[in-house]
Structure formats: structure tokens, C-alpha cells
Amino acid sequence: MINFYEEKVDQINVFTVKADKKELSIYVKDFDAILNSFNIDLEKFIKHGEELQILLNEIVSVSTLFKKCLLVLNQKECELKDATINLISKIKTKYRFMSFMKMIKF
């Protein structure tokens, strides 16, 4: 029983391979017909695609660098905010102390 199904699967695989080869050759012919109809210079098209890929890679590099710079600036801004909060706190403490001292003198 298992052999029967294995034979059927093998027959299906053989048929599929034949169909794929036939369809592939049809597609190659269609591709050549399209190239001839539109007079496409494939080498120039590939070169243009490579140039676009290089440009895309550079854009990604610059945006990654920009992201890192923003992260560093954000961290420094947070540190600056913390330092400012500490400074304001110290000023308030000194002001309260000075106000208290003025009240005592009067």
C-alpha cells in the first residue's frame, strides 16, 4: 500500500519537473521578447540599480549615524536637565536659608 502511494508521488514529481522546465523555457522566451520589444539595455539597467543600491546604503548609514547622534544628544540633554534640577534645588535651599537669616535678624 505504501509503495503504491510512493509511486504516485514519484509520478507527480516527474510531471511537475517536466512542467516546470517547460514553463521556465516559455518564460525565458517571453523575457527575451519583452527585452527586444522595448529595446531595454539590461547592463545599463543593472548598473543603474547598483548605483541606486549604493545610494540607499549611504542613506541608511547617514540615518543610522543621525540616530546615534540624537541618542547621545538626548542623553546629554537628560544629564543637563538633571544638573539644572540639582542647581535649582541648591539655589532654592540657599534662598530659603538667606530668607530665614533675614527673618532672624529682624
Note the pLDDT tens digit of each residue in 32-68. Answer: 777 677 766 777 878 888 888 888 888 888 888 888 8
How high is the pLDDT of residue 2?
Answer: 63
Confidence of residue 27 (pLDDT cuts 50, 70, 90): low
- For residue 47, what is the DSSP state? H
0.95 cut: is pTM over it? no
Q: Where are the alpha helices (DSSP H) in the chain?
A: 2-38, 42-105
Q: Which residue has the higher pLDDT, 86 or 30?
A: 86
CA angle at residue 83 from 80 to 87, to 5 degrees?
A: 135
**pLDDT value, residue 19:** 62
pLDDT at res. 1: 55
Q: Which residues contact 59 (CB under 8 A, 6 or more apart)?
A: none
Helix (H, G, I), strand (E, B) or coil at 84: helix
Within 1-106, strands assigned E span: none
The better pLDDT of the pair 28, 50 is held by 50
Mean pLDDT of 25-35: 67
